[in-house]
Structure 1
Amino acid sequence: MNEAFTQIDGGDLDILIIADHASALVPRDIDLGIDPTLLRDHIAIDIGVAEVSASIARQLGCTAILGGVSRLVIDLNREEDAPGLLPVMSDGHAIPGNRQADLAARMLRFHHPYHHQVGRLLDGMTSPFILSVHSFTPRLASDPDQHRPWDIGILYNEDDRAARIAIPRLEAAGLRVGDQQPYSGKLLNATMNRHAEANGIPYLGVEMRQDLVRKEAGQRRFAEILAQITLDCRNRLA
């Protein structure tokens, strides 16, 4: 298994599920200098994403690629020249081990292999559709007064075709939907900008609320909803 990613081969349907922040793994030879309990926190991993992505892949019979290391090791959803690639602070927590880290080495070890594999998988599809899966914390430690009421957020940059299909479907399923909330795909959309928008591939980018997908029942609920909506988007756009 490649340490940069985990690949789930659920079947041959031309849908690729991409989960940049699905892992909290820190390789043994990397010392971030943080309390290990933080690796269970949102600063280290998109909670619930790995489980939901795997479930959707099995339901639809498609492939999922999950980032293999914590976003604190390298942020796979950042452009190659972005300052946040190697975070030294996250939601008020210092990451001292990254201050003197070799960015080029981590790029070669994790970032490049991950994105090269995403590209290879898409190249092997006749008419691909992408589901990009993230999750967000309902409460930031660094800004506790910020109100984040949404159950799921929809992210996109210029291509909002799937978003316009998905939003009313998600609302009909009983979810409170944030259109470009709590994050905006205009700013935080590096993986989709690179692999989807740059190549004209339709995609749906979602951010699930972490307290709703932390446990198995919530993961199952979101996977069932997103599987059907993703398939509908793919059938209408791909």
Structure 2
Amino acid sequence: MTDHPPFRIDGPDRPGRWLITCDHATNRVPPEIGPDLGIGPEDMARHIAYDVGALGVSRELGNLLDSPIIHTDFSRLVIDPNRGEDDPTLVMKLYDGTLIPRNRHADDAEVERRLALFHRPYHAAYEALCETRDNVVICAVHSFTPQLKNRPRRPWQVGILSAYDRRFTDPFISALEASKTLQAEAEKIGERLVIGDNEPYDGHLPGDAIDRHALHHGRLNLLIEIRSDLIETAAHQAHWAALLAPILQDTLTETGL
């Protein structure tokens, strides 16, 4: 057991259909792991440690959609809650050019300890929230870095990830692409609106959070990735939540799902 819960829930009794999730919410290293992971503050502030800006967007979406939000409170470098228990990237030893010293020698026993302390409690709470709603819609919020080391800059402002259940994904992507508000938002920063469909990476990993809590149960779902340079401040996070919330709700209403 830990003295500090590995997850937090906002508004568990809110009546909305949505469940907003944020798997990579913080860069906190719990004391059970150590004072740090052997990398410096600059690396801990990067996307390798958490999804920059995603928690603020998630909380604002929860407020605007009057729905609960669940988020982790440990770094993805401690153990990645958006990976299945047998995924080889569950405890990352090297990420975007950075070696993680405290993870280099993590053996099976250490991985099991981290699963028990952080990963499994989060997923148990996640599933319990899903089960309180017969018609829950899971909306997972993530962010992606504008550019990986030695890679081209990513052109998408928003990416929508999905697997084979595209009931909500397809109409939502269409609504985003048709949004004049989002088009104007892109023009403000000298870009054209580019919505990624399973970009900047494929949207399905067996055993990941959406696979586990949505696909295996037939629950309506989508995963939103927002480019992190667009949501670095609290004001920008609130702004993007305000852009996305009505499109989410209108799509749900118009599709009758």
The TM-score range, normalised by the shorter chain, is over 0.9
Determine whether 1:192 maps to 2:198. Answer: no
The alpha carbon displacement at 1:119 in A equals 0.5
Counterpart Cα distance in 1 of 2:206 and 2:84: 10
2:27 to 24, 28, 36: 24
The alpha carbon displacement at 1:67 in A equals 1.2
Determine whether 1:58 maps to 2:57. Answer: no
What are the Cα deviations for residues 78-102 of structure 1, in whole angstroms up to 9, with x where unaligned? 0110011111111010001012330
2:164 matched to which residue of 1? Answer: 158
Determine whether 1:14 maps to 2:17. Answer: yes
Is the CA contact 1:21–1:66 (under 8 Å) kept in the aligned structure 2? yes
- Once the two structures are superposed, the pairs formed by residues 122-133 of structure 1 within 5 Å of their partners are 122-133=130-141
Q: SS state of the match for residue 29, structure 1?
A: coil
1:137 matched to which residue of 2? Answer: 145
The alpha carbon displacement at 1:145 in A equals 3.3
What are the Cα deviations for residues 100-150 of structure 1, in whole angstroms up to 9, with x where unaligned? 330000000011000000100000112100111000001112xx2323100
Is the CA contact 1:156–1:189 (under 8 Å) kept in the aligned structure 2? no
Give the superposed CA RMSD. 1.7
Q: Quote the sequence identity (%).
A: 38
Is the CA contact 1:15–1:234 (under 8 Å) kept in the aligned structure 2? no
1:88 matched to which residue of 2? Answer: 93
Alignment size in residue pairs: 236
Counterpart Cα distance in 1 of 2:167 and 2:226: 19
Counterpart Cα distance in 2 of 1:53 and 1:191: 16
Unaligned runs of 5+ in 1: none
Structure showing greater radius of gyration is: 2
Counterpart Cα distance in 2 of 1:109 and 1:196: 23
Determine whether 1:207 maps to 2:213. Answer: no
Is the CA contact 1:135–1:208 (under 8 Å) kept in the aligned structure 2? yes
Q: SS state of the match for residue 76, structure 1?
A: coil
2:116 matched to which residue of 1? Answer: 108
Counterpart Cα distance in 2 of 1:124 and 1:182: 32
Counterpart Cα distance in 2 of 1:185 and 1:20: 15
2:239 matched to which residue of 1? Answer: 221
Counterpart Cα distance in 1 of 2:48 and 2:42: 11
The alpha carbon displacement at 1:39 in A equals 1.4
Letter in 2 for 1:154: I
The alpha carbon displacement at 1:216 in A equals 2.8
1:167 matched to which residue of 2? Answer: 173
What are the Cα deviations for residues 163-194 of structure 1, in whole angstroms up to 9, with x where unaligned? 11111221213242011110111348711011
